[in-house]
Amino acid sequence: MNDYKRSTIIAAAGLALAVLAALACVTASLAQEPTAAELSKKETVASAFLRGFKLQEYEVRSAAEAMPASKYGYRPAAGMFKNEKPPFGPAEVRTFAEQVKHVACSNFAFAAEFDGQKPPEHCDLGGPSSAKTKPELLIYLRDSFAAVEKSLAAINERNMFDSIEGPYAGPTTRLNLATVVIWHAADHYGQMAIYLRLNGIVPPASRPNPPKLQGM
């Protein structure tokens, strides 16, 4: 057997093992998940949103944990956006650290709007937090998800159509703001996942055995 055939067989075997591992992980996960009928017996407006939001929390926070501190300044494209002056947000592609900080600031802003409070300003440009290092940003991000989860847990059938005002998601309703919160986290996770891939890192949420979050 020549080296080419041997390497092809090894590659194919590796791929097959990876697929089998992923299938085993999915099967085990599905076995632990409640059925639709079981969910329907106890589902609430809050629990439905929290279930989806916690998935986004894992994706975003695990991505932030997976990127080495030395790569937090990584920017996938240098310089300004060509011939563009965005009405909001930076005029330059965000670094990974700026992605993390933007998500955290926005989460706190959404939580404030849920609660009728004044949100932090200029989250599109980084916001007022002084967090800069990876450890500082991970804490900032963790606490921001906790703030939103508290607001989502307060949604019910009586208040879900209440009006919400604010510079980020308003004017809107409590129900729609909940969808915006989940969409926003998912949007930026997609970008963060690309940053990881461009640095040869598989996002934890895409691994056969996703690791647990730090600081839970």
Provide the residue ranges of all domains of the chain, joining segments of one domain with +: 1-33, 44-206
At residue 216 the predicted structure's pLDDT band, cuts being 50, 70 and 90, is low
Across 105-126, average pLDDT: 95
pLDDT over 80 (residue 161): yes
Judged against a pLDDT cut of 70, whether residue 83 lies above it is answered with: no
pLDDT given at position 26? 45
Summarised one tens digit per residue, pLDDT across range 25-58 is 544 444 577 787 777 778 899 999 999 999 999 9
pLDDT for the residue 30? 44
pLDDT, residue 170, reads 87
Position with higher pLDDT, 208 vs 79: 208
Going by pLDDT thresholds of 50, 70 and 90, the confidence category of residue 195 is: very high
Select 44-206's CATH number: 1.20.58.1610, 1.20.120.450, 3.90.1150.10, 1.25.40.10: 1.20.120.450
pLDDT at 164 over 90: yes
**Regarding predicted confidence, which is higher, 117 or 35?**
117
Mean pLDDT, range 126-143, rounded to an integer: 96
Residues 57, 63, 66, 68, Cα dihedral to 10°: -120
Per-residue confidence band for 111, with pLDDT thresholds at 50, 70 and 90? very high
Taking the whole predicted model, whether its pTM rises above 0.75 is answered as yes
Q: Does 198 have pLDDT greater than 90?
A: yes
